[in-house]
Every structure is written in structure tokens, then in C-alpha cells.
Chains A and B, each alone.
Chain A
Amino acid sequence: DTGVSQDPRHKITKRGQNVTFRCDPISEHNRLYWYRQTLGQGPEFLTYFQNEAQLEKSRLLSDRFSAERPKGSFSTLEIQRTEQGDSAMYLCASSRGPVEAFFGQGTRLTVV
């Protein structure tokens, strides 16, 4: 499968714990995006990488959230000291340029 791959698919964690998600984009895509989606809402933009550079961040990305793309390939999104409000689907997408983005299956996070 050459689509966008995310791991894990599901994560249940206790409030206050740290979690990390991974995204592997389509191999020739230099742009990578993270979005968050809650029930009944459309995806909300979190952050954008072009190669290894993080070029855009949403105000939604509080200081408990950090994202990296160390070698311009895969990316990680870490949430520290999770809160119940962080429960959501975290979607990763990639694209070859300013064109359509292709999404992964998402990581569903439940904070209990």
C-alpha cells in the first residue's frame, strides 16, 4: 500500500499521560499536514511541514503539542499531559505541492 500510513490506529490513555503518533506520508510527497477531527465536525488544521521544516502552526496547537519531521520523511505528533478534551481523531495528510492532500486512516485517541 502506497498511501499515507498512521500508527497506531487507536490509542486509549489516562489523563496526564504523554502520547506519540506516527505518520508515514506517500513517499514522493514533500508536504505533510496534521489535522484533528472531533465527532460531527470537519477536520481542523494543526500544523504543516514542507520537507523537514515546520512552516505553519495553528493556534490550536498549544504548548502541550509538538510535531516533528526530522528527515523530511515520517512525522510524529506528541501530546504531553493529555486532557479529556484531546480525545479526537488525529489525521495526517500529504501532498506533492499546493494541490489536493491525501489523508491517512487516522489515529483515534481516547483520554480517560
Chain B
Amino acid sequence: EDKVVQSPLSLVVHEGDTVTLNCSYEVTNFRSLLWYKQEKKAPTFLFMLTSSGIEKKSGRLSSILDKKELFSILNITATQTGDSAVYLCAVGKGGSEKLVFGKGTKLTVNP
């Protein structure tokens, strides 16, 4: 059965800290790994990764994929209170259009 496991499930930090969120997966016919940020309702797209070792960056956020070890990390540097959200990792499979999501990491950034 396909599995996406995120850790930690919950994290509380202070503004300015750097955080690393983890996502490991076991899926057949891996195609892509995606990160989403969910604040209140709609998950908003952050990154899509398909190749190992290539870092994607957007401002203070960056992510990298390791297809050999079957995991990805999402880094957030100099965290701000606006980064407080649930971060979801999802894996896309070849031969299927569905995304398999992890349970998410709830990040709380305190001032």
C-alpha cells in the first residue's frame, strides 16, 4: 500500500528560527513529490520535485528530493509568524492521477 509519512507531526518554533520538515514515501511507480501549505482551507502549492538532488527555492523556502533514499525535506529559514500552517507532502504516481498525501506537519511560529 502506498505510504507518505511526514515528521514531525507538530513543531513550535520562535520567529527567526530555521526549520526542516521531513517527508518519506513508499509508493509504486513514483512520478513526483509536491509540497503544499495549508493555512485555513485550501492547500496552496509550494514546490514540485521530480529529480534527485536538485534544490528548488522560493524566497526563504527550499526543498530537495532524494529518490534513492525515498525522502524529501522542506527548509524554511528565518521563520515568520505568517509561516504558521500545516505543510503537506504529496506523491504523484505514474499511471494514476491521484496524489497520495501525508498527514502534514503543523508548524507554529511564535513571535
Contact = CB atoms under 8 A, between A and B. Distances in A.
B100 A91 contact: no
Contact of A56 (B36, B90, B97, B103): B97
A40 B102 CA distance: 10
B103 A40 contact: yes
Given A42-B90, A99-B48, A100-B34, A89 B99 contact: no
B41 A106 contact: yes
A101 B43 CA distance: 10
A103 B48 contact: no
Interface residues of B, number: 22
Interface residues of A, number: 26
A41 interface: yes
A69 interface: no
A58 B102 CA distance: 17
Contact of B45 (A41, A43, A102, A104): A102
A42 B31 contact: no
Given A55-B97, A91-B43, A105-B41, A42 B48 contact: no
A41 B41 contact: no
A62 to B, nearest CB: 17
Q: Could you say which of A35, A42, A55 has the most chain B C-beta atoms within 10 Å of its C-beta? A: A42
A23 B86 CA distance: 23
Contact of B92 (A55, A98, A102): A98
A45 interface: yes
Interface string A73-90: 000000000000000010
B103 A42 contact: yes
Closest A-B pairs by Cβ, 4 of them: A42-B101, A45-B98, A48-B97, A105-B41
